[in-house]
Structure 1
Amino acid sequence: LKEKSAKDLKRYNKLLKQKNVSQQKYDEIFYGKSIIDQKFISSNAELDSLLIERKQHTIRAPFSGIITKRHVELGEWVDKGGEIATLVNPQAVTSIFNLPASYALEIKPKQQIQVHTGKQSINGTIEGVIIKGDNKSRTFPLKIKLHSDNAVLFDGMKTQIKLPRKSSEGLLVPRDAIIKRFGNNVIFIVDNDKAKMVPVTVHLYSGSMASISAREENEKETLQAGLKVITKGNERVFPGQTLQVK
């Protein structure tokens, strides 16, 4: 329509010069083209606005991946910042390990490490320790990026690592023996048929066992191999309580 009005005006302009058309008819064509031009500009502005709005309402994934779960349905309203889907990136695989603070403090980012899962051994790079820990277990997530070009991996697979650290002596005790008292890790041992509370430092959790050492210097001689520790009902035990050892 815009091109037609431009051609009509050009033709009537020539006719006007030749005095083959009235001034009134020429003015109709001239002002008609002006109206069409204004509508064209207005339509383009509206189109630009709609394109910007569509762009703002289009959610783009930060990477190419696989949608494993949809949190909303087509046409459903979504709040700003709300979850719409769970996306897995098969090209960027990471493994998370929960470490006690004593290990977390020794971790160095960019360090190379071997990660084992099943019969597979995969090279990995330590990305760092997440400073937000678990208040109950007092552990901190360690994030390792896996270089898994030829590995077969699935979300949720169990992985294992071996972390080098400074040598230190420790005792293995059942994990259930460690409880919280006054915000500290403690165990109760049996000392002459009475309960004795010993504050401990947890070095590592491994399955149902934990590696510990005494926190206080004067308690280090107390913790010796072969001691009896309380693993059941220890939340209700208090220091000096008489025990019936079975």
Structure 2
Amino acid sequence: MKHILVLLSLIFLAEPALAGQGPVKVLVERLTKQVSTELAPMQGVLYFDKVGKPSTEVDGLVSHVYFSNGDTVKSGDVLVRLNTDFIDQDIRLKQTEIQRLNIRIEHARKDLERYVKLFDQEAASETAFENLSYAHKELIKEREALSVTLDKIRLKRDKSTIRAPFDGIILEKNVDKGNWINSGISLCKIGSTGDLFVNVPVNETLLKFARPGTPVRVILHAFDREVTGKMEGVLPLADEKTKNVSLKVRVPDQEMAVENMSATVYIPTSMKKKLTQIPRDAILSRGEKSILYTVVDHKAKSLALEVLFYKGAYAYSNSACLAAGMTVIVDGNQRLMENQPVHILGDRL
């Protein structure tokens, strides 16, 4: 039945409403009361709450740079590689030294085995046997020291590859191929895409309504996009002059997000109260005023109202002229005049 009414409305409402052609055909909807808080649009800016500045732990010559400003990177992605030619040579040298030492250790082991037999047969002195045993152990310890040195050189080679510490966007690039960099020098600045927030300055009196975890409507103007954010707290510093405080509103990861982009956040400005829920389609702009049409004695009657905020397909108001169950026109209202006869095709809900 509902679909038939909508179809009929499309047919009838397409007809011009000329004088003498009878009542204007309209669809209506009934107002309801909903428990909600009053919301006010507040201007804020995007920022990355978590920012990393990857640096090197070793000195070196930059051989490759794999990012540019504005690039999106994943945790573990390679950002920069340093030249490791000398390091690779040191690794081969230490590997050769260990191989030579292994030969000496094997030779000493065989000598020690022969001396064990001679010592058991009392054909070798105890001093000579002990000297050979100590020499064998000393060679093993020397090999262990070389292995530690080799591990250290390999670690240096590993540290010559610098990776992204987390998923993020490159905010600033500080290095190019061919640069010589020292340990501790920042290579870039990365904003964590998983920690994107809106900083919203508000009057300190609104803090009592800003409960962490509350979902809020956020408009990202650069993308003409609406997302659902979540209040997560307050930056612990008020403006000395205005006494405004900054609310932290977390928003989902946004492709091509840039620090200091503008955003509008609808912030609670009251405790929960009963407000009238109005279909957006019922509200018309008349200059600086908002009005809607209700039906009284089969005629259109306009009512001025104050819209507190919009949420999805509905607006919310605390205007005293509105009551739950009141019939308002949601289709066909664009061409109405005061006291114009109307014919209700049906209720949209």
TM-score, normalised by the number of residues in structure 2: 0.36
The higher-RCO structure (CA 8 Å, 6+ apart) is 2
Structure showing the higher strand proportion among its residues: 2
After TM superposition, the score normalised by the length of structure 1 is 0.49
